[in-house]
A = this chain, B = another copy of it.
């Protein structure tokens, strides 16, 4: 006898595929643009199958957001845990940007922010990151016998990084094309390298 022809291969493989494809669509068209039938068509199931797994459209959105959130947390943590935060800050900025932009997290966060959906996961690590950045900064200053700026300054650096990455991810291409048409920097890598230099510069500044 042949193995299972095609049905129910894993217990529920479809659930995962739905989540994956819905996630891709969500960051493309936003929460209001999601269409169950479209997802179903793409996945290769009927749309009630989605409702079967997630209860409702909103349940699906919630599940996708939840999943993306934990994925983002994990990505960010590994980005920082690579331990290069102190060695090559430009590479760190570029790497964080990539996990942020390349995986569509930035677009998703923007969609959610605009739609008024809470985005706890996305911001949950920010406080921690600011603490870490400031701790490293303070240690380095102490080693050099300099006076370190207050925590607020470090927090501002982190916030600025956030905003810059989000803005870049949302409309970086258009802004770059309009601001500096001559320079060939379609991906914005030059800009981010420049930004990383400025951030490091700031973190190395000390009080008089």
A123 to B179, CA, bound (A): 8
Known pairs A114-B111, A179-B155, A183-B152; A119 contacts B160 (CB<8 A) = no
19 sample A-B contacts, Cβ–Cβ < 8 Å, listed by A number:
A30-B30, A30-B114, A109-B171, A110-B171, A113-B171, A114-B114, A123-B175, A124-B178, A126-B179, A127-B179, A155-B180, A156-B191, A158-B179, A159-B180, A160-B198, A164-B164, A166-B166, A166-B170, A167-B167
Q: List 19 other contacts, CB 8 Å, given A113-B174, A127-B178, A153-B194.
A: A30-B30, A109-B171, A119-B171, A123-B171, A127-B180, A151-B180, A152-B180, A152-B190, A155-B180, A156-B194, A159-B175, A160-B160, A160-B164, A163-B166, A164-B164, A165-B167, A166-B166, A166-B167, A166-B170
Q: How many copies of the shown chain assemble into the complex?
A: 2
Known pairs A110-B110, A174-B119; A163 contacts B168 (CB<8 A) = yes
A92 within 8 A of B: no
Contact across chains for A179 and B130 when beta carbons are under 8 A apart: yes
A176 within 8 A of B: yes
Contact across chains for A123 and B163 when beta carbons are under 8 A apart: no
A138 within 8 A of B: no
A89 within 8 A of B: no
Q: What is the size category of the interface that chain A forms with chain B?
A: 35 or more
